[in-house]
Amino acid sequence: MTAIELARLAGWERTKISKIEHLARSPSLADIRTWCRLCRAEDQTDDLLAALRAVTGMYQEWKRLQRTGLRRLQEQRTAVFEQTQEFRSYASQVIPGLLQTPEYATAILSAVAVRNKLPNDVEAAVAARMKRARLLREGGHRFAFILEESVLRYQIGGPTVMAGQLGYLLMVMALPSVSLMVIPFSRARKTHALGNFNIYDQAEVRIELLTAAINVTVPSEIDQYRREFELLASMAVTGSEARSVIAKALADMQ
């Protein structure tokens, strides 16, 4: 079937198909259903609809997510953590939220509120983030964190806040549900991830950028992030070696 014939049967403008094919316009769910029906490809409808929904929900602007405040955003993500049995997190910039102290979280979220000109509900947002951290001590969840050594040394909130944060890491890494790994500066690099990412079971990968969050749900892409996490883990130290790296960073601040 030609594009002209498809447009005629669907009742569309002729240019609509060309724009969709050349990525100048996104099809709607109704467009996909109509296209598949007229091309006698109904067996592909469900897969194409699922792909469109995944793409539509993949890119989430912070401006939209944060418009009701930081507290609401923290609470919305809590359900995802509660449903996750195996959580993996790679951090090259800041301590992951589940491992943050209230003071460290306050410094991080205050900077976000100022940068994005948000209502000041930082105190409530921090409380929501701390409440979520209870999952570290509950059964039914496993947590694996990989931190670059640089994360231990960035001055978020100042020396006192960082000292408290590093001391807390030394405590929380003893929890049975937590595996905390550190990639020292001295390690030979096998790979270099471009930024922080979190893996929620085999269901979702979340990457946080300056202006938006990216949610990856395509299984093959999730597998790629899991392989990257395993490669990063192969460069990291654990147990007493990880404690030594954290303790050294703490000593250097005092």
48 vs 141: which has the higher pLDDT: 141
Q: What element of type H or E holds 60?
A: strand 59-61
pLDDT confidence of 67, banded at 50, 70, 90? low
Token pair of 111 as six digits: 């900077």
pLDDT at position 142, please? Answer: 97
Q: Where are the beta strands (DSSP E) in 168-218?
A: 178-183, 197-200, 204-208, 212-216
Question: pLDDT (tens digit, 9 = 90+) per residue, 10-22?
Answer: 999 988 888 888 8
Among the listed ranges 22-36, 65-79, 224-238, which one has the minimum average pLDDT value? 65-79
DSSP state of 27: P
Domain residue spans in the chain?
3-58, 60-67+78-98+134-253
The pLDDT value recorded for residue 48 is 81
**Within 13 Å, how many C-alpha atoms sit on residue 223's CB side?**
3
Beta-strand relationship, 212-216 and 59-61: antiparallel
**Residue 73: Cβ within 10 Å count:** 21
If you count DSSP H runs as helices and E runs as strands, how many of each does the chain have, helices first? 12, 7
Burial class (CB in 10 A: 0-12, 13-18, 19+), 123: middle
Q: What local confidence, expressed as pLDDT, does residue 56 receive? A: 60
Q: What tens digit of pLDDT does each residue of 198-244 get?
A: 999 998 999 887 766 788 888 888 999 999 999 999 999 999 999 99
**Superfamily (CATH) of domain 60-67+78-98+134-253:** Endonuclease Chain A (3.30.870.10)
Backbone angles phi and psi of 71, in degrees to 5: -60, -45
pLDDT attached to residue 60 = 53
State how far the Cα of 86 lies from the Cα of 78, in Å rounded to an integer.
Answer: 14
* Alpha-carbon gap, residue 180 to 132, rounded angstroms: 18
CA gap 244, 94 in Å, rounded = 19
Q: Phi, psi at residue 60, to the nearest 5°? A: -125, 110
Residue with tokens 């790629």: 224
pLDDT tens-digit map of 158-211:
999 999 999 999 999 999 999 999 999 999 998 887 789 999 999 899 988 776
CA distance 175 to 153: 23
